[in-house]
Structure 1
Amino acid sequence: MYKPIWFFFFLFFLSQLVLSQILIDSIKYRSTNFTTFGVNPTKTNLALLQIIKDAGTFDIKAKATLELIDFHDKNGNIDSVLFYGHNLYDESNSLKIKTYLAQTTNKIAVGNRKKGLHDEALKWHLKGLNYAKIAADKNSFNYHKYGVAIVNLQRKKYEESLRLLKETLDITKNEKLKHKIHKRIGDVYLAQNKYKKSKQEYTKALLFFESVKELKNQLETKIQLGLIAEKTQNTQQALNYYIFVKDKALKNNFYDLYFDSQNRIGRLYFSIQEYENAEVALSAAYINAMQWDYIEQQQRVLNNLSLVYVALGDYKNAYAILTQYQKLSDRTLNEQNKKEVNRLEVQYNTLQKENEIHILQNEQIKKQNEIQRQKTLKISFLIGFLVILIPVIGLLYLYYQKLQTQSELNIVQEEANQQKIATFLKEQELKLIKENIAGQDKERKRIAQELHDSIGGNLASIKLQLSNTAKNNKNYQHITKQIDDTYNQVRNLSHTLIPKEFTENMFTRLLTNYIENIQKDNKTKITFSPHPKQEVNNIDEALKVTLFKIIQELLTNAFKHAKASQINIHLNKYEDSVNLIFEDNGIGFNTKIHKNGMGLDNIKSRLDSLSGSMRLDSFQNRGTLIDIEIPL
């Protein structure tokens, strides 16, 4: 039962061989403008293979493998792309690493798509979408969605393709992907014969690829601009585009793009009835597509070749070409159903290539050893030179270090002198401020006493004399009222200059009474802790007034904004300073956003006059701490 299958493969191989030989002879005698390859000229990236071989972790191996896949994709080696892609997929799947699964499925899908296996490409893109979603890998998700759009484009589902492309364009932040999408939108418009829109998209993509020096993407865009020229009957411009792309692609090893340009040149020659040139170009394209096993590219070339042979009246070759075309179509269906067979064949071929690579590596090792020997000689000469040079450098360094140390010492001395001057000026300023405050306080006491004793006493004496001598005077009551009003104003003014509460009561008692009064109408618990109590009561009266007003301001702010259930106030007297700590367990605030308010500004203004300082520490939902220190 197996004999017919083997017989079919034998006929298929024989027909491929005979047809290839016919086409090679045709090129040999007709043209030297198109290059064909008997073997794949790509030189594998040995450095990446070595990294993969020596990788100590899967992460290093996976990243190097992805780079190797990109290398083969750039050179059009789709079989290698699929081989390394499947290997990495299997390893990532066994380790359940979704991020690498998302990236690897995209590489496999792209390889199948370029080969012409659109069903396989779609399957891997759909798998990749699921992996990318689980891994929250937005970039891979967008690339897979972009790939599904391309498959729809190749299946001529233009509206669906355009919808997916525009959706992806709106959400991606990857600039390279954005302009790849612009190019593919141009492909959709071109397929719909909307040449103006198509050219706009291609131009936008081309400008970006030129700015970032993405040569292959530039050439892929230019070959599509050539197709617009061909479809709009601008044959010479189209030919110029195709030849430019062909030459650049060959020079830079973009073999898939080189085969595509050969096919397009052949098709263009056919359209202008230059059948012999068309046959040469298409024959070269077919041989190369066969060598790289580009199924879809082979089908395109064979279709164009059959038209050429019909035009030349060579119906025998035309029939042979169409027969071969049908076999490729059957193979496409077969390969999409029997992918595992293809993977094993690719693995076998890849292993053979890797054996060749190992031979090249051994030769390279020999060359590296020779290079290393020459380096050793050079290093020996260099060491001898350094033995002489190092002592000289050492002496120069010691001299430089001495100069540097002296310079730093001078800077330190200068800074110390400046600091002493600044400290002296600050002390003098503080002394003047204290003397000024003491003088103001003394003057207020004197004025208050003078108002109370002198002017108040005089007014009381005048009232007494009036009461003894002028009771029958009709203006007596009016004058007495004016004297009482004046006396009360003088008394109030004297009390305002130095409030009697601060002269008649202990300061700690005054603060305790104030806190108890405001606590009656408020649920917040307030504790006040003065230390040492007697020392706090002996603070200068002017400073007592300032501290009392600061505490009032802080409590007002806390009741208004903090929503606290507990407030702690600590007032400490040290030898040379007074320290006030105000702490609540309220909602706090962001000190970067709400740096100051009117209350805090008032407190800072009072502290500035006393050379005091304030430190504020607050976080949202963690309360507020205010630390105030005033020098004595």
Structure 2
Amino acid sequence: MDIVNTLMVENNSNELMMATIFGSIIFFVFTAFCVSYLLIFRRKRQEHKDQLVASQKEFQAQLLQSQVEVQELTYNGLSRELHDNVGQLLNTALLLLGLAEREIPQPPDTLKTAYATLGDAINELRSLSKSLNREWLEQFNLLDNLTTEVKRLQQPQLSVSTVFPSNTRVELEPAMQIILFRIIQEAMQNAIKHAQASNIQIHLEEKAQQLLVRIIDNGKGFNAKEPTAGLGIKNMQHRVHVLGGQITWESMLPQGTTVQVSIPIKQ
């Protein structure tokens, strides 16, 4: 009987041990399943959030790109208007002044000055019309057009210059170069119109797959920490956003302003 009881106790112990082991296995499997499910759920939820953010960014980029395209179409229409209408009127006025100058034996200096000034105005108008023409901009080169724009803005009371290495190349599509050119134009116009600058420098360099542009002026500056709602600044921010870059303003009253633009270059 003792042997039988001993065997029964051992069998019960073995069964209890097996049940404990089996229960532990089930518990660990269930726990692992719950943890895995939780991790997968969190990952799926994060992926969904990332997709929503990406979709929103894409929508904003497309919206801003559309705004830029509308502005470029407006520029194109303005270019044709300047060339076909205003340009023709000025050319007619120049022709009439030339005829009047020939008919007068000794034309006054004021008439000669007016003739020369009107000729300069027509050349300026042609340059401006050219810079607004979208068809001409299809083969756009940022560096060449910056050089032309600098010459156009150059005045006795205003010095504008470009600073970039001789081997600098802008590895951006023409459409993107046009947008960047508009940003620089806006910065220069702000410096001339609002900051009343007498010296503007445009620095351009490529660094760490980024195209860095700095527009530095010696104008009266502004408080960069205060929020600004100017249309020009908003346009610049929108255009930089379309290019996937960043833009900052560094300014201290009254020590001028530095506008820095960083655009990624896709290799």
TM interval, short-chain normalised: 0.3 to 0.5
Provide the TM-score with structure 1 as the length reference.
0.23
Higher helix share: 1
Higher strand share: 2
Choose between structure 1 and 2 for higher RCO, CA contacts under 8 A separated by at least 6 residues: 2
Larger Rg: 1
